[in-house]
Amino acid sequence: MCGIVGYIGYKQAQPILLKSLKRLEYRGYDSCGIATIKNGELHLFKDKGRIVELEKKLPQLDGKTGIGHTRWATHGEPSPINAHPHLDCHRRIAVVHNGIIENYLDLKRRLIEEGHLFLSETDTEVIPHLIEKYYRRGLPEAVSQAVNHLSGSFAIAVLGTVSRELIVARKENPIVVGLGDKENFVASDIPALLDYTDRVIYLEDDDIAFITSEEVKITHRGQPAIRNWQVIPWRLEEAKKAGYEHFMLKEIHEQPQAIRQTLATYVPETGTITGLDIPRDDTEPNILCLGCGSSFYASLVYGYIFDKLGYQNIKSQIASEFIHSSGVKDGTWVIGITQSGETADTLKALKKAKEQGAKTIAITNVIGSTVTRLADHILYIRAGPEISVAATKSFAAQLIIGYLIALTVASVDSYTRDKVLTELRTVAIRVKQILDEADCLNPIATLLTKYSDLFLIARGINYPVVLEGALKFKEIAYIHADAYPAGELKHGPFALLRENTPVVAIATPDETYQSLLTSIKEIKARSSPVIAIAEEGDKNIEQIADEVLFTPRVEPLVSPLTNITILQLLAYYAAKERGCAIDFPVNLAKSVTVP
């Protein structure tokens, strides 16, 4: 959600802030603004709408220090008044904020009683007024005192007209300091920094950073702290569209590379699995996988993978539900899956599990993210930056990690292990084959846009895949899509089958195949159109489905990787046909950093 950027150095801040904000558009937002300081005077401009619209209205705001923000509304509707930055009463302090201030109503009431004037409906506005209240011996001390009174989650960046520093603070919300030469940068996510530096400092909870153009000083709960800088492993080119119309399409096409790179990280040419950072002292421990959205659906695939390899002590739970459960027993392995490493519900769930004595493992795409400092063991997917809100290549890479964990903890013989690893290497080629012929999916996608409702069905290991596929249709094409295990249709959903309710069915040639064909026949008896996804050479499916999309032959165990590619492409082309904002779906954000 929301995006923060900041700059202090020897260049004009405005163009840097705007360019950096554009790199964060994928996080989702409905308003934006920037503030700069020059000669002790604060210059501010903000409005609702996109950054490109802001630029058309934006006057020249001089100054070599500034902050910027993209807001995703939580408290108060999208409007110029509610947009960030927010100011104190005397326009000497400007603040941008990500997160939720839970005690803002109480703080606001007290501040109003003390004479402070509020203009917006936001929780954020209490922060500059609180800093103003404690402003006695300079901005650093005032910020330090103010954050002690904030309850909730936040990442903030603060400017003051009489301060030569840019000040940032965090609690349960990410913020990163980028290091330059006689200039420094601030951002809530790495892509905003890639144009300017590859050296970053990840702040930790309760850190406050005091930043000038020459240095960065950090305190942790009032005491000096040292945070080592790290090199960003991503290249700027990876965060650009590279000729594709949308980031989502680019990232779908990057899936073979994400599969190969993640696999190569843990399976070198020797063919043995190595470097997998997981506990080694348990035999068949209970494993609980936690995630949200696409990451949760990946965890459901894990359960089928483990089961196929003879390991049953694994289950999955939505992270936001685990938070309110009784938790886990001491010694359980809890695997938290989060592409960004900043998903608030997953972080809260992992904290709870760790407090209960669980061994925590994080699967993430972002080095240095919050989850990497929280979990006991870290497994990185190697997907590169994922900009589009809809997860694609990260989902595929998460599945690869699931196969590798299963092969490591399950009691499989060397023949089975080698066979699965060979299939995983081969599946990247098969996915590439699908991508090379992607245009042939356009007619089917166009057909699906004529309907307002859609069912997706599968059995076995591809059931979570249709859940993920349905999510894609909902989030980017705005088509109401429900996914079911095929056997569940008769337990209610059959009542909705009509000529105008198409069904997409995955027919994998495994032990579920014949049952799936029976389900399709039952659906056809209710006159619903059926689009089947089946392995090439399947003659049976052609006789009963209205349309068939063929995938290259792969071992059924790894078929989720080919089948999800088909569903991603169908959703993408349907969204394009409908004229949807594919990379920036309405009301959604890439990183859900507030519960």
Q: Tell me if 208 is assigned to some domain.
A: yes
Asked if 367 and 222 sit in the same domain, the reply is no
Q: What is the mean pLDDT of residues 503-508?
A: 96
Same domain, 248 and 278: yes
For the cut 70, the answer to whether the pLDDT of residue 594 exceeds it is: no
Q: Is 345 inside a domain boundary? A: yes
Structural domains of the chain, count? 3
DSSP string covering 326-355:
----TT-EEEEEESSS--HHHHHHHHHHHH
More confident residue, 73 or 342: 342
Is residue 593 situated within a structural domain? Answer: no
On whether residue 333 sits in a domain, the answer given is yes
Residue 86's φ and ψ, nearest 5 degrees, are -115, 150
> Looking at residue 1, what is its pLDDT?
61
- Which one is predicted more confidently, 272 or 145? 145
pLDDT at 591 (0 to 100): 62
CA proximity to 484, closest of 496, 498, 499, 500: 496
Question: What pTM was estimated for this model as a whole?
Answer: 0.83
Higher pLDDT, 453 or 489: 453
Residue 227 has pLDDT above 80, yes or no: yes
Q: Is residue 473 part of a domain?
A: yes
Pair (409, 544) in one structural domain: no
CATH number at residue 339: 3.40.50.10490
- Active-site residues, by number, are 2, 590
Of 433, 448, 470, at which residue does a domain stop? 433
From 371, 401, 433, give the residue that closes a domain: 433
Nearest by Cα to 86 from 119, 133, 51:
119
Do 245 and 199 reside in the same domain of the chain? no
Check residue 76 and give its pLDDT: 83
173 and 220 share one domain: yes
Within-domain flag for 222: yes
Considering the domain architecture, whether residues 40 and 138 belong to the same structural domain is answered as yes
Give just the sign of the alpha carbon dihedral 328, 329, 335, 336.
Answer: positive
Residue 498 pLDDT greater than 90, yes or no: no
- When pLDDT is averaged across residues 359-363 and rounded to a whole number, the result is 96
CATH number of the domain where residue 142 is located: 3.60.20.10
**Percentage of residues in the chain with pLDDT exceeding 70?**
97
Separation CA 362–CA 334 (nearest Å): 8
11-26 pLDDT, tens digit per residue, is 999 999 999 999 888 7
Across residues 400-411, what is the average pLDDT?
A: 95
Is residue 116 located within the same domain as residue 259?
A: no
In a shared domain, residues 221 and 72: yes
100 against 461, higher pLDDT: 461
Does one domain contain both 426 and 443? no
- Please tell me the distance from the alpha carbon of residue 193 to that of residue 23, in angstroms, as a whole number: 8
pLDDT of the residue at 27 = 66
pLDDT confidence bin for 556, thresholds 50/70/90: very high
Residue 441 phi, psi (nearest 5): -85, -15
Average pLDDT over residues 350-378: 94
- Residue 197 is predicted with a pLDDT of 95
Of 272-286, 293-307, 378-392, least confident by mean pLDDT is 272-286
State pLDDT tens for residues 212-221.
999 999 999 9
The pLDDT tens digits of the residues spanning 74-121 come to 888 889 999 999 999 999 999 999 988 999 999 999 999 999 999 999
pLDDT at 492: 85
Q: Kindly state whether residue 470 falls inside one of the protein's structural domains.
A: yes
For 258-281, what is each residue's pLDDT tens digit? 999 999 999 987 778 888 888 876
372 CB-near residues (< 8 Å, 6+ apart) = 341, 362, 364, 366, 378
In the prediction, which pLDDT does 122 show? 94
Of 385, 404, 433, the residue at which a domain comes to its end is: 433
- On whether both 178 and 302 belong to a single domain, the answer is no
Please indicate, yes or no, if residue 591 is contained in any of the structural domains: no
Domain that holds residue 114: 3-232
Q: What pLDDT does residue 592 have? A: 65
Query: Quick one: CA dihedral 402, 405, 409, 410, positive or negative?
Result: positive
Average pLDDT over residues 140-155: 94
- Looking at residue 297, its pLDDT comes to 98
Q: Are 75 and 205 in a shared domain? A: yes
Tell whether 195 and 123 lie within a shared domain: yes
